[in-house]
Each structure stands twice: as C-alpha cells, then as structure tokens.
Amino acid sequence: MNDQKKIRLEKIDDYRWRIPRTGKMQVEGLIYADERLLREIREDESTKQVANVAHLPGILKYSLAMPDIHWGYGFPIGGVAAFDWQEGVISPGGVGYDINCGTRLISTNLSVQDLKGKIKDLVNALYQNIPSGVGSKGALRLSVHELRQVLKDGSAWAVGNGYGWPEDLERTEDRGCMEGANPEVISDRAVDRGRPQLGTLGSGNHFLEVGFVDEIYNPQVARVFGLRKDQVTVLLHSGSRGLGYQVCDDFLKKMGERVRQSGLELPDRQLACDYIRSATGQDYFSGMACAANYAWANRQMLMHWTREVFERFLQMGPKELGMHLVYDLCHNIAKREWHMVDGERREVCVHRKGATRAFPAGHPAVPEAYRDVGQPVLIPGDMGRYSFVLVGTEQALDETFGSTCHGAGRVQSRTQAKKASKGRALHRELEDRGIFVMAASRGTLVEEAPEAYKDVSQVVEVVHQAGISRKVARLRPWGVIKG
C-alpha cells in the first residue's frame, strides 16, 4: 500500500520509539525495538496500526508495541493496549482469532544424557499419541453439557477428569480459568467446531517440542523455576482451536453492526469494538473467557498425554520423571486487571495480542512458588534455533501494563518459505543440526522453516535491555512435532 503515509517515529532511547499524537489519537504510540528490528517493522503497516489503536475510546497511557510486532488485522500482532474498564472499549481484533493461544513449559528430572539415542523413538511415540495436523480431531467425544463445563472451568475441568495434577493449576496463568465465562453467549457453531477438537494440537505454528536447557543467564531465578543446564524440557504451543476462531468471528460481526449503528468513527473496519460496559462488550468478554478456558483445558490435556508417553517410553514413574509444569501463559487475550495510571489505581482491560504478561516479584497474580522472583515468561523461537525463558519485572508493570514480547515473528511469508525450501531436504538439514522433526504434512514443515522467522534472540535482547523482562534461560529444540 504505497498510498499510506509513513508514520513519524521519534527516538526516545536505543530501545524505545514514540509515535507522537496526531489527528484524533487519544494517546501516543510507544514501540519497543532496536534500530535493526525497526527497519523490518517499518516494511509493513504495523506502525500505522499502532497509531490506529491509539484512536480508540478509553485507551490509557500508550498504544504499545513489542519488538516482535507485525501486521495484523486491525490491531498489530505484538500490540498491547489497555482501556479504562468503565469508559473504554473491548475489541475481538485486539485479541485475535486464536483466543488464548499460548505456551506451556514442562521441566523434567532428565538430563540430555538420559535421552541420547532415544529422541527419534520418543518423538515418534509422542506423534502417535498427540493428535495434530489440519482439522485434527481428538479421541474425546464430549457431550454439549461436558463442553460447557470445560468452557466454565478450564484447566480445573481437565485436572478434575484425570488430565494432570492439582499443582498444575497453581502454575497456570489465572489458574487456567478466566472468571466471567458464560457458555450462554457462545454460538452453536462455536460449540460444533470446538467439540471434536478438544485435546488436539492443531497445525501451522503450533508445536510440541522436546528440548533442553543450554544456557542459564540468571541462576538464582532459574533455580526457583526448577531449571538447570542440560535438563530436558517440553515446550508446547497451542490455543483454542476452531472454537476460539468462531467466537472471534461471531463477535467481529456483532461489533461491526454495533459500530455501524452507533456511528463510532474508526480508522479501520477491523478495529470493530464496543464499550466494555455495553451488553455486546460484556458478552464478548464472557465468550472470550470461555474460549480461553477451552484453550487451557486443551493444553492441560496435551501435557497429560505427553507425561504418559514419557512414562511409558522410559518405563519411569511420575515421581522419578518429575515432569512439573513450570508455567502456562496466554499471548492472545484481553484481561481485567488493576494498574497504576498517572498515580491512580485503575481497573483496566488489557489487550495482549501476540504479547505476554510479565508480572514482577511480589504481585499477587504470580504463583506463590515464584512470588519472590516474578512470573515466568515463555518466548518460543523457531524450531531450528532456540526459545527463551524470561522473568517479569517491576518496570513492565510501570510501562507496559505488565507485558512483554511473545515470540519471533515471521520474516518470510509462507510462500517465500516454500519457495526457499524447494528441492531441499529440510528434515535432513535439521537432523544434521541435531533436531528431529515430525510434521503432519511437508507443507507445514517447509512453511515453518527456521529461516522463515526472525532470530528470537534479537527480540528477547530488546525486552531485556529495555527492562520489561529479564533473561533467565535459553532452551534448544531437540525433537519437534509440528501440526
């Protein structure tokens, strides 16, 4: 789109850039990036989207963007925006289609040595037992009544039905259950899409990855998280499947109609939104909470089967294996939280679309086990390089409503990645680097090739240097299942 005006950016420091207020912007924009990342960011329209979000009623402080920002629908991916609960809006486009898409990290008592020569067979066993791929359906056949329980209770439903341990709930953001979930507002369509898919990984960038800790940056915090060098870990990335997509779609339509009726002026149709206190706003919040709970139950079940496979494969008991949940978090969500705004404690709705919560030590929402150090932040990279574990900070709470980045972000489109991998044996290339991958289709594998993504370490370096989260450990992939 060449007719778009370039958005003016002012450098604040090496890691912060301001978009000054112009026109009807309610607040400034604030982008976290270094010069190198900013050059890539400026190639698409995401900076304009940061400015667009700043137009929405009730937005507080800044329209924020993390260093992994890229072009989304309406809101940029990697965007954070908080709205006054009483006077502000809520927007399905500020959350995204995959509601509560998120990551989960599991530790083990195993060291790299224990799995030497076994990784292929282990990944095979995981692949056989974890449903993945396009439109994958789970082994479960839930009744509508059971699904409603899942939507209300989230991870607690899963644990209550034998998928996991009670301690898992304490180490899940919001204990794996968002309050306010009301299945009444969910369409039959969303229910139909969601029922057969609970307990499935999905496809695209969703994955299950056996890896290991290859670098510790902060030994004290790593110890509290239960992480040590050479330890085998499992990282999981999945969301609310068709149910979440449908909830988003249903409410984009409803809010689009509301915008038309109310005459609310929006710079982009995709910013469709409504006041949080309105009936539609409340319904969306309740529906989104249902989808969030579905996603938590989903990841909880995927983790449970992963534990079972490890136990069978290694002939070890759960105690001996020690597969504890380190943390589970969402990176597509709108949350009801309290934050200090201009010296005043305010109830706000924080939209994190491709952004992660990063609360500091002492915050009551941080699990007790981690309260002295801060909330774990999980940042997955591509399947060929590494992922990161960070910890939340006070500065994040001050500056970004307690938020940080969420991942690497693509540099190549899917088609570019496909072209670049033509005639290449990507499996073999990865195996030569010591990474064994199983994918439901070659299509997914090549689209997800490592070089299709930014180097996640660049993204992490920015949030670390800016102080909105701190590096704790780095994980290397070893065996990967791609949907």
Partner 1 sequence: MKRYETFDHTADLGIRVFGRTCEEVFANAAYALFDLLTGLDHVRENLSYTFQVEAEDREELLIRFLSELLFLCESEGYLFQRFSFAHLNQKSLKVVAYGETFDPSRHEFKTEIKAVTYHQVEVKENHGTWEGRVIFDL
| Chain contacts with partner 1 (rule: CB under 8 A) | 44, 70-74, 77, 97-98, 133-135, 189, 192-193, 202-205, 242, 245-246, 248-249, 252-253, 256-257, 260, 269-270, 272, 410, 413-416, 441, 443, 483
Q: Which residues of 366-388 are buried (b: 16+ CB within 10 A; e: fewer)?
A: bbebbbebbbbbbbbbbbbbbbb
C-beta neighbour count of 61 within 10 angstroms: 17
Least spacing, CB of residue 74 vs partner 1, in Å? 8
339: amino acid identity, one letter: H
Least spacing, CB of residue 118 vs partner 1, in Å? 30
Which lies closer to partner 1 via its Cβ, residue 183 or residue 202? 202
The H or E element that residue 219 is part of is: helix 219-225
87: amino acid identity, one letter: E
Least spacing, CB of residue 457 vs partner 1, in Å? 20
Least spacing, CB of residue 245 vs partner 1, in Å? 4
Least spacing, CB of residue 46 vs partner 1, in Å? 9
DSSP E strands in 364-482: the ranges are 376-379, 387-391, 403-404, 436-439, 470-482
CA distance 444 to 421: 12
Q: Which two tokens stand for residue 183?
A: 């299945």
| Catalytic residue selected from 70, 331, 406, 464 | 406
DSSP E strands in 4-126: the ranges are 10-13, 16-19, 28-32, 62-70, 77-84, 89-90, 102-111
Which lies closer to partner 1 via its Cβ, residue 346 or residue 414? 414
Which lies closer to partner 1 via its Cβ, residue 256 or residue 467? 256
The distance of Cα 423 from the centroid of its chain, to the nearest Å, equals 33
CA distance 392 to 396: 7
Least spacing, CB of residue 433 vs partner 1, in Å? 24
Which lies closer to partner 1 via its Cβ, residue 149 or residue 444? 444
Helix axes 279-314, 241-262, angle to 10 degrees: 170
CA distance 168 to 324: 8
CA distance 73 to 252: 11
* Residues paired with 349 in a beta bridge: 83, 336
Backbone angles phi, psi at 466, to 5 degrees: -75, -20
CB 235 within 8 A of CB 209: yes
Would you call 339 a catalytic residue per the annotation? no
CB 275 within 8 A of CB 175: no
Least spacing, CB of residue 378 vs partner 1, in Å? 20
* Residues paired with 65 in a beta bridge: 31, 79
Least spacing, CB of residue 189 vs partner 1, in Å? 6
Q: Please name the residue ranges forming H helices in 277-334.
A: 279-314, 318-321
Query: What are the CA-CA distances from residue 72 to residues 78, 121, 282 (Å)?
Result: 9, 38, 24
Which residues participate in catalysis according to the annotation?
Answer: 406
